[in-house]
Structure 1
């Protein structure tokens, strides 16, 4: 099983995404440990669809970012990077204000693939609003 790299910090993850989609959306990594990563996002108008409900893509962005950063922190020794090759989400509810939280948990940490599950909740009451699963392909340097 791939182990968490000890040289990654929460601050590094948050700085890494600052000028990219995670930074624009306000995604914050809050904790990382072996096989898990936690994050959050304060809800703003930009996270909503024109029907005034939380846009599914905002929820997916939080979950996918969390699983992606978790994969990065758990890359096998010598791997160059990773890419998402499959994702699925089930949306169970929405929020209109406050924030949402995400916990990504490793299901498989292999040499060529990793599978991560994420649960997105309403920060105010821990009610589940989405379930997410993704498969990451590990990328190796060209030899």
Structure 2
């Protein structure tokens, strides 16, 4: 694990990109775990008044991506997502949602991260998410 990648580092990196724009906050970067949260606000809802699935997926994907970055194998410099899947089991209309990413597989060429998204107030599961990332290495000269 790269101990130089702290929540502050990721929050600063994401400030002017989609995670920062949406309000995603990284809370914890630890061995085999990343946690994040997203305050629910009007702009993150679908026209039906419930949390937009894309908002949930973006929180989960951000947690999985930052987890992958923090756990890159030696010699790797980045990653790219090759597959993601989500099952939506509930929703929220206010408060905040939380995400916890844990690894299912940490290989040299791929990583698979599972993310559980919950309603922060009551702990109810909002979504289950799985993301597969291909690990990228510098190209040979």
| 1:21 Cα deviation after fit | 0.2
TM-score (norm 1): 0.96
1:36 equivalent to 2:33? Answer yes
Alignment length (residue pairs): 140
The aligned counterpart of 2:120 is 123
Matched, 1:27 2:24: yes
Q: In structure 1, the residue corresponding to 2:5 is in which secondary structure?
A: coil
TM-score (norm 2): 0.98
- For residue 95 of structure 1, what is the aligned residue in structure 2? 92
Give the alignment's Cα RMSD to 1 decimal: 0.6
Partners in 2 of 1:66 and 1:9 — Cα distance?
13
1:102 & 1:6 partners in 2: Cα distance?
A: 20
Task: Give unpaired runs (5+ residues) of structure 1.
Answer: none
Counterpart of 1:47 in structure 2 is: 44
CA distance in 2, matches of 1:77, 1:47: 37
CA distance, structure 2, for counterparts of residue 56 and residue 94 of structure 1: 9
Distance in 2 (CA, whole Å) between partners of 1:6 and 1:17 is 18
Match of 1:57 in 2: 54
Q: 1:20-53: per-residue Cα shift (whole Å, max 9, x none)?
A: 0000000000011111100000001111111111
- Deviation sequence 1:43-70 (CA, Å, 0-9, x none): 0111111111110000000000000000
Q: Runs in 1 of length 4+ with deviation above 6 angstroms? A: none
CA distance in 2, matches of 1:63, 1:9: 18
Cα distance in 2 for partners of 1:80, 1:123 equals: 33
